[in-house]
Amino acid sequence: MKDALVSVIVPVFNRLELTERCLVTLAASTAVPHEILVVDNASTDGTAEYLAALQRGLEALADPAVARPGGRPSPWVRSVPVAFRVIRNPVNRGFVEACNEAAAQATGRYLCFLNNDTEPQPRWLEEMVSVIERDPTVGAVGAKLVFPNGAIQEAGGIIFSDGGAIHFCRGLGRSEPAACYRREVDYCSGAALLVPRALFAEVGGFDMRYAPAYYEDTDLCFAIRQKGYKVMYQPHAEVVHHEGGTAGRDPAQGYKAHQVTNSGKFRAKWRGVLESRHAPRGPRLTPGEVHRVPGKRILWVDPHLPMHDRAAGSRRLWEILSLLVEAGHHVTFVPTHMVVDGGSRRYLRELQALGVETYAMDPAGGWPPPGASLQPMQVAAGVMQSGAFDLAVGSFHYAALPLIQAARKVAPGLPVIADSVDVHFVRERREAELAGDDALRGQAEETRRAELEAYRSADAVIVVSDEDGAHLRDHLPGKRILTIPNVYDPVEAVPGFGERKDLLFVGFFQHKPNLDAVRWLHAEILPRLREAVPGARIHVVGSNPPREVSAMACADFIVHGFVRDLAPMLREARVSIAPLRYGAGMKGKVVEALAWGLPCVTTPIGAEGMDLVDGEEVLIARDAASFAAQVARVHGDESLWNTLSQRGREVVRSRYSRQAVRAALDTLVTQFARSAPPAGGA
């Protein structure tokens, strides 16, 4: 039998119908190894008999042959707890004492306190555990509590200097963007709260001064924060809460009356913290109250959600946003292609789980509300107007310029930076010259005018390489230009020369230079490789391969299309090939190969902007014949292969690692973000 990772503690007093519904939904929605401890506070409505029968049925489920307890299917068959224990009290000891009593008998690494008037939704506990397991500085995790009608009851709690509290986003739709990203909060309700068992014991459990109930969960979160841990809200853990189902709703009588008296006890105990760290209640919440982070408030606008496993530019954006969150900044993200679908919803959830407040339209998820018609810059303008941001960034000139124009109207003084991603007109000029096409030359000139207009309007421009910066300085004298490259950490332990075979090409096919590279590879380089490296196969990987590329597939030219996890192929290939004939910016496929210790053969365009030493860190070829020859050279020379593998990783470590890019981002924020937010708030 597995050990319990989580001990789920459910105190109950009467309301059998709520308890039964809670336990049944718990069984249907929980895959984490868990034990359940139900504390029956002297119920008189048949609860004791129900729990005893359920306990007998669950014990029978230890026999694999028992699949239909009581002659009917049971949700418990799908999720049998490691243990199910009932603690029967002779009198009603209240929530606080019941929880402490159960915690003393629990065996799990974590305690999850769960009201009996709740209905946990699928993966609720997995999502809570994921937050606390990934970050050792987290000391408590709370769920998104929703009313039975789907409206938000609580998306984390905010405490004011007088000890008063509000539930953030109460009454809004469950998909409200402000309630859908992981963030640090003042407290989360004990209706669904996860805490490490050892930490719960260290702070002394729930403080008995709050018995029988109310403010004990807020007090616990403050005690955990006093120990140096964070209290986190996890929006992807949803729990339906029939508020007041057990304790009632009238603050003048019953258990609910303790909410008023315990508020005073809480205020007296934590007066110093409340006065030094919490603001008085005002007419509007300030950004500091909503976002308990030490850093700046940054708005980032990009055409798309960062599909980090599909394109190098998206990978760079994902890593930048991640580094900003890690540095303690609050990041709000608005994609100009706002509507998500089945193919992009995963990336929305991943961004929210990262801790980024994301405004993307999800028709299936319920935002915006039915009938609302929102445009991307309308949304961006709205959050700028109300969000008191310190810095805004727009990716690509065609997203940056509308952002700049909106900011100048609704948020005067807000610094706005344009992230070029790559210098488009340089890439288009090169394409035109390669094709000898006057129409493409004209298009490149139109792009140049549009791109430079955006960059002139911005307070500064980000480029991915110093070479891109050099292209722009000729056109933008005096403009502040900063380099923030692609981000990859080197992989330390990689298979050696003898454990690898074959060649690997990676490229997002909606990016035209990659399509041209594959055409050149197949038509001119492949015939030469068949002679130079007999038996070697080329693996072509990339999202959205057109029919033309799929038709190239044969025994030694294998077209895989999109591969979600590229790591096995990066570990198994002997040589990475990047036969790019035009482009601009930094080539993510080259950096990624070097990070994995995979020697790369590329062109001068492929190596552009990286200051790579030919023959020591990469191999560079200028035509099809020399390209095939360089591939054959490294494919057959173990000593050269080892040199390229080692030095390539050293380049990545010193220039493109998360640590190196974090320093560049720190410089960006220090130089351009406002030193203090304007008065007012969100």
- DSSP secondary structure code for residue 538 in this structure: E
3-state secondary structure of 494: coil
pLDDT of residue 478: 93
- How confident is the model over 606-619, as a mean pLDDT? 96
Looking only at the bridges linking them, the beta strands covering 416-419 and 460-463 are parallel
Phi and psi at residue 585, to the nearest 5°: 75, -165
CB-based contact 451:494 (threshold 8 Å): no
Q: List, in sequence order, every beta strand (DSSP E) within 422-480.
A: 460-463
pLDDT of residue 78: 65
Of the chain, the percentage scoring pLDDT greater than 70 comes to 94
Per-residue CA distances from 59 to 30, 69, 250 (Å): 18, 10, 40
Q: In the predicted model, is pLDDT for residue 682 greater than 50?
A: no
pLDDT of residue 21: 95
For residue 368 the two structure tokens come to 């915006």
**Which amino acid, one-letter code, is at 521?**
L
- How confident is the model over 311-327, as a mean pLDDT? 96
pLDDT of residue 306: 95
Q: Measure the CA–CA gap between 111 and 103, rounded to whole angstroms.
A: 7
Bridge partners, 37 (sequence order)? 9, 85
- How confident is the model over 346-371, as a mean pLDDT? 87
pLDDT of residue 291: 86
Q: In the predicted model, is pLDDT for residue 248 greater than 70?
A: no
Range of weakest confidence among 229-243, 355-369, 640-654: 355-369
CB-based contact 599:643 (threshold 8 Å): no
- How confident is the model over 577-602, as a mean pLDDT? 96
- How confident is the model over 250-269, as a mean pLDDT? 78
Q: In the predicted model, is pLDDT for residue 387 greater than 80?
A: no
Q: Residue 681: pLDDT band by 50, 70, 90 thresholds?
A: very low
CA 299, distance to chain mean position in Å, is: 16
Q: Residue 246: pLDDT band by 50, 70, 90 thresholds?
A: low
pLDDT of residue 364: 74
- How confident is the model over 161-190, as a mean pLDDT? 95
**DSSP string of 46-94?**
SHHHHHHHHHHHHHHTTSTT--SGGGS--GGGTS--SEEEEEE-SS--H
pLDDT of residue 69: 42
pLDDT of residue 388: 84
pLDDT of residue 504: 98
pLDDT of residue 400: 97
Q: Measure the CA–CA gap between 586 and 592, rounded to whole angstroms.
A: 11
Q: Residue 44: pLDDT band by 50, 70, 90 thresholds?
A: very high
First-residue to last-residue Cα distance in the chain: 50
Task: Name, in order, each residue with C-beta under 8 angstroms of 475's C-beta and a sequence gap of 6 or more.
Answer: 448, 452, 455
Q: In the predicted model, is pLDDT for residue 244 greater than 90?
A: no
- How confident is the model over 195-210, as a mean pLDDT? 98
- 426-453 pLDDT, tens digit per residue, is 999 999 999 999 999 999 999 999 999 9
Q: In the predicted model, is pLDDT for residue 679 greater than 50?
A: no
For residue 239 the two structure tokens come to 């729990």
Looking only at the bridges linking them, the beta strands covering 297-302 and 192-196 are unpaired
Task: Name, in order, each residue with C-beta under 8 angstroms of 181's C-beta and a sequence gap of 6 or more.
Answer: 235, 351, 352, 353, 354, 355, 356, 357, 358
pLDDT of residue 401: 97
- DSSP secondary structure code for residue 421 in this structure: S
Which one, of 38, 34, 37, lies nearest residue 6 by Cα?
34
Q: Residue 239: pLDDT band by 50, 70, 90 thresholds?
A: very high
Q: Measure the CA–CA gap between 160 and 266, rounded to whole angstroms.
A: 12
Q: Residue 509: pLDDT band by 50, 70, 90 thresholds?
A: very high
Residue 680 burial (C-beta neighbours within 10 Å; 0-12, 13-18, 19+): exposed
* Secondary structure element (H or E) that encloses residue 159, with its range: strand 157-159
Average pLDDT of the residues of the chain: 92
CA 668, distance to chain mean position in Å, is: 22
Q: Measure the CA–CA gap between 3 and 6, rounded to whole angstroms.
A: 9
Q: Measure the CA–CA gap between 485 and 586, rounded to whole angstroms.
A: 7
What structural domains does the chain harbor?
6-281 (3.90.550.10), 297-483 (3.40.50.2000), 497-656 (3.40.50.2000)
Q: Measure the CA–CA gap between 41 and 43, rounded to whole angstroms.
A: 6
CB-based contact 388:382 (threshold 8 Å): no
Residue 149 burial (C-beta neighbours within 10 Å; 0-12, 13-18, 19+): exposed
Q: Residue 64: pLDDT band by 50, 70, 90 thresholds?
A: low
pLDDT of residue 59: 78
Which one, of 270, 317, 304, lies nearest residue 399 by Cα?
304
pLDDT of residue 71: 47
pTM greater than 0.75: yes
**DSSP string of 639-663?**
HHHHHHHHHHHHHIIIIISHHHHHH
Looking only at the bridges linking them, the beta strands covering 330-335 and 357-358 are parallel
pLDDT of residue 68: 44
pLDDT of residue 63: 61
Which one, of 116, 120, 128, lies nearest residue 38 by Cα?
116
Peptide bond into 368 cis (omega under 30): yes
Q: Residue 249: pLDDT band by 50, 70, 90 thresholds?
A: low
3-state secondary structure of 119: strand
Q: In the predicted model, is pLDDT for residue 255 greater than 90?
A: no
Task: Name, in order, each residue with C-beta under 8 angstroms of 648's C-beta and a sequence gap of 6 or more.
Answer: 593, 594, 595, 597, 598, 599, 600, 617, 618
